[in-house]
Structure 1
Amino acid sequence: MTPHNELRLLPWSGLDGKPCFLSTDDTNGHLSRLADNTEAIQLGLATQLLEHASEDLSNGEADPEELRALATDLTEALRDTLRVAESRGHRLPLPGPDAHGNDTEVPMLPAAAFG
């Protein structure tokens, strides 16, 4: 399987806020594993934050300062989640011929690709 993009968007930004990329063929290398673990942590934290936000918003008693902090946290979690989605999307294999030589429109992915 040939990846769509040879550079991997990493789940963190540089000091200047610009995206960081990794160029490697080794998906089990140290930085690749660190990026995989960081993505898993970011998605887990986003899930927990969403549950917390749902609880806080359902009780209707949050003050404006709490809501501002919640909005800030949700914005950061959404930014991280979108970066993970973009990175994983760029690593999906390109459609290619199936066993009968027909081009497929949807790549077949192993279950591990979904986290």
Structure 2
Amino acid sequence: MQVLASLDADAIWRLRFQLPATLPAGTCKLRLIGLCNDDSHVAKVNPKWASVAMAEDPSSATLQAEGTTTVTWGASDHDKYVESKITLDADTPVGGEIIAMDLTFETSGWTLDQISTWMASLIWE
């Protein structure tokens, strides 16, 4: 997904992740990989999520916020991938359920001035 260079308001990327029936060992984390032709600037992200069963309505789930994470492009990071791992512990992942997530790109503190591209996945570490 691409995000505008300058955000006028918070932008939400609505995501869904199918969890395996048996969760792997370790801690569930959101792995974000960002790419931006920028340096010495930051993005601000805040994952808000819930583990939702198949029979539940994901629209009525109460999403829990992990809090704002700062993703930094250093002085020599322009046009390079930057990785962030965010521990998902605001709710409890449940095997066989689906994680419903609103990944919020927050305008407050956002200093990237180029378009950024993002990939999201779940990992256990």
TM-score (norm 2): 0.23
Looking at CA atoms only, which structure, 1 or 2, has the larger radius of gyration? 1
TM-score (norm 1): 0.25
Greater RCO, CA 8 A, separation 6+: 2
